[in-house]
Structure 1
Amino acid sequence: MSVNAATEAYETERPDTTRPGDKDVPSFPVYDPPGVPEDVSDISAVHREVTYARAIGFRPLKMDIWLPRQATGPAPLVVWVHGGAFQLGDRRELPPTFAPDSVFRLLNEAGLACASADYRHSLEAPFPAQLHDLKAAVRYLREFAADLGVDPERFGAWGESAGGHLVALLGLTGNREDLHGGLGAQGNPSGVSAVVDFYGVSSLVDIPPLNTPAGLFPPALTAAVPAGMPMQPEYMLVGGSDDPALLAAASPVSYVAAGAPPFLLIHGDSDGLVPHSQTDLLAAALADAGVEHRVVTIQGGDHCFFGAEDQLDAILAAAVGFFSDKLARP
């Protein structure tokens, strides 16, 4: 779809709300075209601050789209999803152990595009809002695939921590119409063909209580949390409830089924926030369903791979290589 055609089309996404006698007024747009990219290096051009969806009562949902300048044809694309315990972070932030922009640059160097997408935090909206947002992001990227020079048949998803949880869900629910969500562009599928999950939660029912280091959440950071709201990220994600049914409904292990895309799961054996047992649970469910997967355990690695910084180049290379392999042309 051309940018001009999309500009006209997105105004028809909402039903006509004009009244008899009203002048013709275009509907409020539900997303914006990607615009013109900025060349940031010999390797990358970036569409910044792209509004991929609007929702009444919430901030516009944004993404940055990093395109490989040396691509010779439609490029595969990887959606990057940030962590932050469903409470913090945004699309521009990588874990503190990662070099700035390293994920986006490395994907572009390998000839893969990357879209880094924001999503609503847990106090903005409870689950499944976060999954709905990312599905809207995937549909948007397919809507504008021709303009962006990406291949809509070769999409993957990569996330860390809370983002690992969300990309696992994205990979496992591609065919679930009940989790489609109504935001943003419609008419395109929201599934992906490969998933890389860095130390994500796979079962909210089985996650142990967060061992919060002193000072991690100072009062100035928690001032906006409603009185009585539990600070456990999994409870906040489902609206402050400890109901096992709600927690299970927000857990990737609940959606594992045959036909899911291949997974690469990378997790440190010394993770003090999300224990390696969370990856073990997901790996076991994938194995039972006959889903292709690989687990890489990082010796001495804590959350964000603290303590294993000397292995980080190899970790990132493994993830990029996985996508290059799984998203290669048939």
Structure 2
Amino acid sequence: MLRLVCRTMVCSALMVALLLSASSCARAQGAKQPEVPDGVTYEPGVTYCKVGDIELKLDLARPTKVIEPRPCILMIHGGGWRGGDRSAHSDATVKLADQGYVAATVSYRFAQVAPFPAQVEDVKAAIRFLRANATKYGLDPNKIGAVGFSAGAHLSMLLGTMDKEDGLEGNGGNLDQSSKVQAVVAFFGPTDLAADDYPEAVVFMIDDLVGAKGADGLAMKKKASPITYVSKGDAPTLIFHGTKDRLVPWNQATKMADALDKHGVPGRVELLVGADHGWGGIEIIRTLEQTMKFFDEHLKK
């Protein structure tokens, strides 16, 4: 059963988005690599596939000594499908590895380089790469999760709902492997891109993502929406969303909840009352703790 929880916001809004963007800018300008504790192996800049002349990379952290295969989490950054940087989550991958996970943060093509479905093809290729190299990295190919923020949350939910039969695998290699994940956590991500209540700035970003307007654009927006693909057996999903989100209406979360519930997919939607498109302070600590509990429940047991 999918549950809906409402919480009152107690800390500053937009802090997460500011922290993530600041981290991305700092890393892009040559900031130091994350501090890697003993017992963790950190491998930045791993090429997971090549599309034309573009090499797509991920940063990976894992326990150095592995007695048995470990569950894996892929982290997907936000940025309106137009920006952001995987290094925003490099520190988090190291912390996850220190807790016994294999973790990776991934780059993908932006809309101005290639419109949808390039973005989902890329993250699918990353999942297939991880599965194909499960022995090398000491991960369990049957226990892979995805967590994303904003546009990254949208892509994470596509990984949890789409199947190979949906025809958007792309040509990123390892096509004998599944690209579907077994658990998803989504922070304030759009689920129905064809909705008519987005603010104008976001409508522009969605139009740019799908590369079309009018009737053709509407069809592509539906094709790019996680809610389109929900079916029985999809990945358990945890969604966090603020009720004062100025970019992605909070009913995107409840629409997804209805679809998941209809098909018997377990999970939870938590609405943070008064929160905008991101939050900080006590609430970011708490929601990240809930994220780990959710992954532990569905990937470690």
Match among 125, 146, 157 for residue 157 of structure 1:
146
Q: 1:191 to 1:93 in 2, by over 3 A?
A: same
1:107-140 superposed Cα distances (whole Å, 9 cap, x missing partner)? 2233111111111101111111111111111111
Q: Tell me how far apart the structure 2 counterparts of residues 104 and 43 of structure 1 sit (CA, whole Å).
A: 13
The answer for the alignment partner of 2:238 in structure 1 is 264
The answer for the alignment partner of 1:179 in structure 2 is 168
Q: CA deviation at 1:283?
A: 0.7
Q: Tell me how far apart the structure 1 counterparts of residues 42 and 163 of structure 2 sit (CA, whole Å).
A: 27
Q: Tell me how far apart the structure 2 counterparts of residues 82 and 199 of structure 1 sit (CA, whole Å).
A: 12
Q: Tell me how far apart the structure 2 counterparts of residues 231 and 325 of structure 1 sit (CA, whole Å).
A: 36
The answer for the alignment partner of 1:192 in structure 2 is 181
Q: 1:296 to 1:71 in 2, by over 3 A?
A: farther
- The letter for the 2-side match of 1:48 is P
Q: What is the SS of the residue equivalent to 1:119?
A: coil
Q: Tell me how far apart the structure 2 counterparts of residues 286 and 50 of structure 1 sit (CA, whole Å).
A: 34
- The letter for the 1-side match of 2:211 is G
Q: Tell me how far apart the structure 2 counterparts of residues 167 and 198 of structure 1 sit (CA, whole Å).
A: 10
Matched, 1:286 2:286: no
Matched, 1:124 2:117: no
Q: Tell me how far apart the structure 1 counterparts of residues 40 and 269 of structure 2 sit (CA, whole Å).
A: 30
Q: Tell me how far apart the structure 2 counterparts of residues 109 and 318 of structure 1 sit (CA, whole Å).
A: 17
Q: 1:196 to 1:59 in 2, by over 3 A?
A: same
- The letter for the 2-side match of 1:63 is L
Q: What is the SS of the residue equivalent to 1:49?
A: strand
State how many pairs are aligned: 266
Structure 1 segment 224-303 matched on structure 2, within 5 A = 232-242=204-214, 243-303=217-277
Q: Tell me how far apart the structure 2 counterparts of residues 80 and 173 of structure 1 sit (CA, whole Å).
A: 18
The answer for the alignment partner of 1:76 in structure 2 is 71
Q: Tell me how far apart the structure 2 counterparts of residues 275 and 43 of structure 1 sit (CA, whole Å).
A: 42
1:213-261 superposed Cα distances (whole Å, 9 cap, x missing partner)? xxxxxxxxxxxxxxxxx97111011014242111111111111111111
CA RMSD of aligned residues (A): 2.0
- The letter for the 2-side match of 1:54 is K
Match among 44, 69, 79 for residue 40 of structure 2:
44
Gaps of 5+ in 2: 1-33
Contact 2:198–2:249 (Cα < 8 Å) also in 1: no
1:270-325 superposed Cα distances (whole Å, 9 cap, x missing partner)? 211112111111111111111112011223321122xx422111111110111111
- The letter for the 1-side match of 2:253 is T
- The letter for the 2-side match of 1:44 is V
Q: 1:51 to 1:299 in 2, by over 3 A?
A: same
Higher relative contact order (CA 8 A, sep 6+): 2
- The letter for the 2-side match of 1:321 is K
Identity %: 36
Contact 2:60–2:93 (Cα < 8 Å) also in 1: no
Matched, 1:67 2:62: yes
- The letter for the 2-side match of 1:42 is D
Contact 1:53–1:183 (Cα < 8 Å) also in 2: yes
The answer for the alignment partner of 2:124 in structure 1 is 135
Q: Tell me how far apart the structure 1 counterparts of residues 82 and 196 of structure 2 sit (CA, whole Å).
A: 17
Contact 1:207–1:274 (Cα < 8 Å) also in 2: no
Q: 1:43 to 1:314 in 2, by over 3 A?
A: farther
Q: TM-score with structure 2 length normalisation?
A: 0.83
- The letter for the 2-side match of 1:151 is D
- The letter for the 2-side match of 1:286 is L
Contact 2:194–2:221 (Cα < 8 Å) also in 1: yes
Q: Tell me how far apart the structure 1 counterparts of residues 139 and 40 of structure 2 sit (CA, whole Å).
A: 14
Contact 1:209–1:232 (Cα < 8 Å) also in 2: no
Match among 286, 290, 300 for residue 318 of structure 1:
290
- The letter for the 1-side match of 2:44 is R
Contact 1:211–1:272 (Cα < 8 Å) also in 2: no
Q: Tell me how far apart the structure 2 counterparts of residues 174 and 66 of structure 1 sit (CA, whole Å).
A: 27
Q: Which has the larger radius of gyration?
A: 1
Matched, 1:93 2:84: no
